[in-house]
Amino acid sequence: MKTPHILRFGAACGLALCLAALSSCVSPKEVLYLQDVRGNESEQLRQSYQTTIQKDDQLYISVSSKQPELTAPFQMSEIGQSDSNNTSRPKGYLVDARGNIVLPIIGEMRAAGKSCTQLAGDIASALRTSDYIRDATVNVQIMNFKFSVLGEVKAPGTYSIDGQRITIIEALSKAGDLTIDGNRDVTLIREKDGKREIVRVDLRSKNLFSSPYYYIQQNDVIYVTPAERKINTRSDAAQWYGWGLSGVGIIIAVIALCCA
């Protein structure tokens, strides 16, 4: 009878497929976020985070007064056209390599290392001290806040935001979230004060919220490395391909034998 041979062969193939499927399963501990949260939890939020101005930042600086004619020197020229709404955008004040900006009336002023609120206060104070605008109100914003997300995410790339505060979770969500093969220990690269930091941030722990890297800074790079299982799969691909060809030959031979 040929039928038992075919049944045994079919059962062996089914078992092999089941084992392959089980070996490719992903453990929840590898992919779930905030795994150590138990039920409802609450904690005191840290003090409000403020972004620090860095070299090469482009700053929007607005000065207002009850005497508008006095603020004319601070009106920034407009350049180009924006891609989204076809409107002009202000040129801004560039923070130079020494961390300074050059302002009308005031001249050179230190900007790097300060928050936007601190710099606005310093500019207003300088204008009052010079007796030029005694009632000056100043607003400072970073115009070129951007970050990059690379690796195992659905939409890698460089992203810009209008505000000055974004968390690492929000940054990853802009890139479409991690893929199933992304390592939940992500790498963050940050350059600040002439130093480069390369740190690991564990998205699986609630300690993420108290990390100094929970809020990202302008020009940060977030790299999501592939999980070890994916690296192993890629490295063994050629070997499995060779075995697969051999296996196909064996299967064809066995079928031919069973049907003989």
> What pLDDT is recorded for position 88?
56
Q: How many CB atoms lie within 10 A of CB 120?
A: 21
Q: Phi and psi for 30 in degrees, rounded to 5?
A: -85, -20
> What pLDDT is recorded for position 163?
82
Q: What is the mean pLDDT of residues 188-208?
A: 92
pLDDT band at 120 (very low <50, low <70, confident <90, very high): very high
Q: By the 8 A CB rule, do 142 and 119 touch?
A: no
Q: Enter the tokens of residue 205.
A: 């722990």
Q: By the 8 A CB rule, do 151 and 131 touch?
A: no
Is the pLDDT at 189 greater than 80, yes or no?
yes
pLDDT, greater one: 25 or 178: 178
pLDDT band at 239 (very low <50, low <70, confident <90, very high): low
Q: What is the mean pLDDT of residues 180-201?
A: 92
Q: Out of 36-50, 103-117, 162-176, 242-256, pick the least confident.
A: 242-256
For the chain, give the mean pLDDT: 80
pLDDT band at 179 (very low <50, low <70, confident <90, very high): very high
Winning range, highest mean pLDDT, from 28-32, 79-83, 240-244: 28-32
Please tell me whether residue 243 adopts helix, strand or coil conformation: helix
pLDDT, greater one: 185 or 24: 185
Rounded CA-CA distance 252/41 in Å is: 60
Rounded CA-CA distance 137/120 in Å is: 8
> What pLDDT is recorded for position 205?
93
pLDDT band at 215 (very low <50, low <70, confident <90, very high): very high
pLDDT, greater one: 232 or 153: 153
Length of the chain in terms of residues written: 260
> What pLDDT is recorded for position 185?
94
Is the pLDDT at 21 greater than 70, yes or no?
no
Is the pLDDT at 257 greater than 70, yes or no?
no
Taking alpha carbons only, the member of 49, 34, 33 closest to residue 165 is 49
pLDDT band at 11 (very low <50, low <70, confident <90, very high): very low
> What pLDDT is recorded for position 260?
58
